[in-house]
Amino acid sequence: MRLKPKDFMKLLIRPVIVVSTISKEGVSNAAPFSFNSPVSFSPPIIAIFSNPKHDTWRNIKENKEFVVNIIGEEFGPLMKILEKDYPYGVSEIKEANLTEEPSRKIRPPRIKEAFAWLECKMIHSAVLGDHVLIAGEIIEAEVKSEVFDKVVLLEKAKPLCHISGEYFSTPLTVSKFERA
Amino acid sequence: MRLKPKDFMKLLIRPVIVVSTISKEGVSNAAPFSFNSPVSFSPPIIAIFSNPKHDTWRNIKENKEFVVNIIGEEFGPLMKILEKDYPYGVSEIKEANLTEEPSRKIRPPRIKEAFAWLECKMIHSAVLGDHVLIAGEIIEAEVKSEVFDKVVLLEKAKPLCHISGEYFSTPLTVSKFERA
């Protein structure tokens, strides 16, 4: 069946990440994003795609720094709080009863309840359609040791993934396929 | 535990897509990519990130057109064939015993065995680290009707996702969470 092209994301499943940033005044902000992808191995780069009106972009434009908090399915019920448009200056992290933790190398805080953290510095941005590409070099990567063995342990980390609207999924089983 | 920043993709799980393109001489090419993300709703845009030496990029640079074939876990054993570096002019689609089907609006073929297809025209590119961002506007989206009801039906489509190296996963269960 043919779909409207704008419905294409209903065919794809992607990890939800929560991006934490900090304003000039030192107020932290956090928002979930499912438009994101690794970009490059060397240097290590990740891309997120943000609504340009969003506080996330406002803060990153100001100071270039952000944390990609990689989250499990227990964040599912928090989506409606984390993505809400609070007045600039209100921290979604506090509203969602999550815990801020200092990052190692940048000013925006980590969210303690995530299972992994990527500390990033923006190296490139570009407006693409109704979103803005924000490419960040990863300068620090850390994971809860109990959810990692060679790669993330899905059955323990239970990564939250998004399809569209209210539809989410958590991949749990690993399969191995030979590579070229 | 701290990881080398270059290992960050071991923490994320992403859909594998197979991108089909066509050379100036009319020879089709197909390659799997797990670095990809939706970008924009209006216009609908998807991004893939390619090794700049790859035939996929060579073909898209020439004629701007590509198909994103969205695939199920039955493609897992074909990864080692689809990602192999065959001489330019050899079609991975034929080598993998897959079936070419004409697209509706562009020249590169679809792969019949995929469960959904996005026909794209490149609107932007940029070198980012060791990969090149290829942003394509989606001009046609189609899905096998038996795997779609509001969104993709995971338990039927069994979308193949990638973590790192030989590690893959197929998300099967849907959860619903309220949105803001």
In a domain, A11, yes or no: yes
Q: Which residues of B touch A7 (CB under 8 A)?
A: 141
| Per-residue pLDDT tens over the stretch A89-146 | 788 899 999 999 999 999 999 999 999 999 999 999 999 999 999 999 999 999 999 9
Find the CATH number of the domain harbouring A106.
2.30.110.10
Rounded Cα gap, residues B157 and B144, in angstroms:
9
> Total domain count for chain A?
1
Q: Which residues of A touch B174 (CB under 8 A)?
A: 163, 167-169
Q: Which residues of A touch B42 (CB under 8 A)?
A: 6, 129-130
- Closest chain A residue by Cα to residue B154: A169
For position B100, what pLDDT does the model report?
96
Q: Name A171's Cβ contacts closer than 8 Å, sequence gap at least 6.
A: A154, A159, A161, B13, B161, B169, B170, B171, B172
In a domain, B174, yes or no: no
pLDDT averaged over every residue in chain B? 96
DSSP state of A161: E
For range B134-148, the mean pLDDT? 98
Considering only the beta carbons, identify the residue of A124, A138, A175 that sits closest to B73. A175
H or E stretch including B82?
Answer: helix B79-82
For range B83-92, the mean pLDDT? 82
For range A29-50, the mean pLDDT? 97
Contact B128 A47 (CB under 8 A): yes
Residue of A42, A49, A12, A45 whose CA lies nearest to A129: A49
For position B13, what pLDDT does the model report?
96
Interface test with A, best of B12, B131, B179 (most A CBs within 10 A): B12
In a domain, A178, yes or no: no
- Closest chain A residue by Cα to residue B180: A80
* ipTM (interface pTM): 0.96
- pLDDT bucket at B92, cuts 50 / 70 / 90: confident
Is residue B82 within 8 Å of residue B30, measured between CB atoms? Answer: yes
Q: Give residue A180's identity as a one-letter amino acid code.
A: A
In a domain, B9, yes or no: yes
| Per-residue pLDDT tens over the stretch B25-35 | 999 999 999 99
pLDDT averaged over every residue in chain A? 96
In a domain, A180, yes or no: no
For range A20-36, the mean pLDDT? 95
- pLDDT bucket at B85, cuts 50 / 70 / 90: confident
Concatenated DSSP letters of A93-160: HHHTT--EE--SSSSSPEETTSSEEEEEEEEEEEEETTEEEEEEEEEEEEE-GGGEESEE-HHHH-B-
For position A85, what pLDDT does the model report?
79
For range B109-135, the mean pLDDT? 98
For position B173, what pLDDT does the model report?
87
| Per-residue pLDDT tens over the stretch A58-79 | 999 999 999 999 999 999 999 9
For position B86, what pLDDT does the model report?
83
CA quadruple B58, B59, B62, B66: dihedral positive or negative? negative
For range A142-171, the mean pLDDT? 97
Q: Which residues of B touch A124 (CB under 8 A)?
A: 126, 128
Contact B11 A80 (CB under 8 A): no
Contact B40 A73 (CB under 8 A): no
For range B80-104, the mean pLDDT? 90
In a domain, A175, yes or no: no
Size of interface A-B (CB pairs under 8 A): 289
pLDDT > 80? residue A176: yes
In a domain, A177, yes or no: no
Residue of B118, B112, B119 whose CA lies nearest to B72: B112
* Kind of pairing between the strands at B131-143 and B148-149: unpaired
For range B149-174, the mean pLDDT? 96
Q: Domain limits at B154?
A: 5-169
pLDDT > 90? residue A84: no
Rounded Cα gap, residues A38 and A71, in angstroms:
16
H or E stretch including A56?
Answer: helix A55-63
How far does the CA of residue B117 sit from the closest CA of chain A (Å)? Answer: 9
In a domain, A114, yes or no: yes
| Per-residue pLDDT tens over the stretch A44-56 | 999 999 999 999 9
Q: List, in sequence order, every residue forming a beta bridge with B162; answer none if it has no partner.
A: B14, B168
CA distances from A140 to A50, A59, A100, B82 (A): 22, 20, 17, 33
For position B90, what pLDDT does the model report?
82
Q: Which residues of A touch B47 (CB under 8 A)?
A: 37, 47, 49, 128, 133
For position A10, what pLDDT does the model report?
98
